[in-house]
A = this chain, B = another copy of it.
Amino acid sequence: MSVTKCEVRRGAYYDSVVLMHLQRALSQLPGVHDAGVVMATEANLELLAESDLLGPEADGAGADDLLLAVKAEDKAQAEAALAQVDALLKQRRSNAGQTFRPRSLSGAIKSLPQAEWVLISVPGRYAAAVAREALEADKHVFLYSDNVALEDEVALKRLAGEKGMLLMGPDCGTAIINGVGLGFANRARRGAIGLVAASGTGLQAITSHIQRQGAGISQAIGTGGRDLAAEVGGATTLQALDVLAGDEQTEVIVLVSKPPAAEVAARILARARAIAGPVVVYFMGQPVTTRRVGNLHFAFNLSDAAELAVSASRDAHAKPDPEMRFEQLGSRFVRGLFSGGTLAYEMVLGLQGLAAPLFSNVPVREEQRLPNALRSEGHTILDMGADAFTQGRLHPMMDNTLRIRRLQQEAGDAQVGLVILDVVLGEGSHPDPAAELAPAIALAIAEHAVEVAVLLVGTEDDPQDLSGQREQLMKAGAHVFESTVELVAAIVQSIEPPVGEPAPVSSRAFGRPLAAINVGLESFYDSLVGQGAEAIHVAWRPPAGGNEKMMALLAKLKRS
């Protein structure tokens, strides 16, 4: 048998480290089986209930209240344990160090004016205000706190952009700046690989794997998990790419994120393509179809991202392969007229995120669906073997009529720079497709400023004579490809990257010894100092109200 007793202290704020230590101390008291010390959020109440640590005394407690729960041998022991809470807190206070601690961010800035960085790990509802104060004071911010509202994130990142400051986070777990780890960070040698990550442990796993392979890190910039959401638009990621692109030490960039919003991915990749050196991209859960497009290398897991980065850094000074480009494309559109549904689908897979806007009647994502298959929009990839085109008609592998008609239509569209046709040879297909297609291709090229690419599928044993078909098509002026992968690469390299808005970031804070102000978890301060950084810890407390007795106690604890 055991008895659970709870106590609620309304409006009391404590640092999570303090709560953890108190909980541990309570569990070790005589007769105590288990203890819980948490802010009474709904999630925490559920967790306590799971462990049989929730009593009726907790009824009505809310997120601002401190909840103490003890499960003990009997009622007397439970109550005795709860009675010791204040003593336990006082004891921790007397164990604490004695350094001077400013009580506000502005005080800390006066004490350590050379600090260019502010680490913030106060509870989410207070974090935005602290971050704003730091940005206003022209500091870069590492915002560890989670539970920050999305609209606050958007506003803070807008401010950061105006100020030329980096705002890493919210919910940014990790970074390595000038060789010093912020938040959670692995110790790694310095080197030529710069990381940008909307994913904390992703960044850590890649760092660790790079270190294992003998290479090193220049800067590792966390962005917060929501940075690549549509609302935020990759604000910090774009800044971070610029910082790393301008950093002399960085030769290779690794970009890692959980699945980004499609339009944000396109924007980020466009920016990445404009960078001179290799960029390794790992968008988790987004299918990789092409391993490399120009300077972009696509990874399919964390270890792979690290390995690609290390090998790219070793080849960073190698001469790149010559690149196939479509001269007419620029900012105009691609129109793909496919007889093979799978080929069309693989083109959509390959182009998505790299060519925008992208539409298809075989979309990978619903927002890519072409409203009317008879009218192309933006970049369009059509499967003309789809039911709508073949009812009561021969398949376009046998009958080229519809595709030739559409080729003329697309080539006559001034927005179009490239038309793609696939030509699938073999048994059952048209006996001589090039004989019909080549004149139509030559005409389109002659009459309009377009190029034509042909994806040619077949073997030398096919009845149509593969080499002869290729020759006829090339004579007509078509560029002939043998795989979607090569074709996608050529297209992406020919599309003019949209002109990106400048996102200049003050680079003063990079490449010199790190000095930082810590607001929140003390352990982050300890870690900074342990790494040899200049740092100061702010004895922060919530701006208003709360349980006066507890707040005073806390203040003493923090001040001591």
Scan A2-29; emit 1 where CB is below 8 A from any B CB, else 0. Answer: 0000000000000011011001100000
B200 pairs with A342, CB closer than 8 A: yes
CB proximity to B under 8 Å, residues A176-209: 181-189, 199-202, 204-205, 207-209
Residues of B within 8 A of A507 (CB): none
Q: In the assembly, what is the distance between CA of A201 and CA of B385, in Å?
A: 11
What is the minimal beta-carbon distance from A359 to any residue of chain B, in angstroms?
Answer: 16
Interface stretch, picked from A247-255, A272-280, A282-290, A316-324, is: A282-290
Total A residues in contact with B, Cβ cutoff 8 Å:
108
Contacts of A345 in B (CB 8 A): 199, 258, 284-285
Query: Is the beta-carbon distance between B286 and A187 smaller than 8 angstroms?
Result: no
Interface membership of A471, Cβ < 8 A:
no
Is residue A349 within 8 Å, beta carbon to beta carbon, of the partner chain? yes
| 24 A-B pairs with C-beta separation under 8 A | A16-B392, A17-B394, A19-B392, A39-B392, A43-B389, A44-B391, A123-B392, A184-B428, A186-B459, A187-B426, A200-B342, A202-B342, A204-B340, A204-B424, A211-B460, A225-B341, A258-B345, A284-B346, A285-B364, A287-B287, A301-B485, A302-B484, A303-B483, A428-B524
Known: A202-B346, A285-B349. 16 other contacts (CB 8 A): A20-B394, A23-B401, A41-B391, A173-B395, A181-B427, A185-B426, A187-B426, A187-B463, A200-B342, A204-B340, A212-B482, A225-B341, A287-B300, A290-B301, A303-B483, A427-B530
Name A residues whose Cβ lies closer than 8 Å to a Cβ of B.
Answer: 16-17, 19-20, 23-24, 38-39, 41, 43-44, 46-47, 50-51, 63, 123, 146-147, 173-174, 181-189, 199-202, 204-205, 207-209, 211-212, 225, 256, 258, 284-291, 300-304, 339-343, 345-346, 349-350, 364, 374, 385, 387-395, 397-399, 401-402, 405, 422, 424-429, 457-463, 482-485, 521, 523-524, 527, 530-531
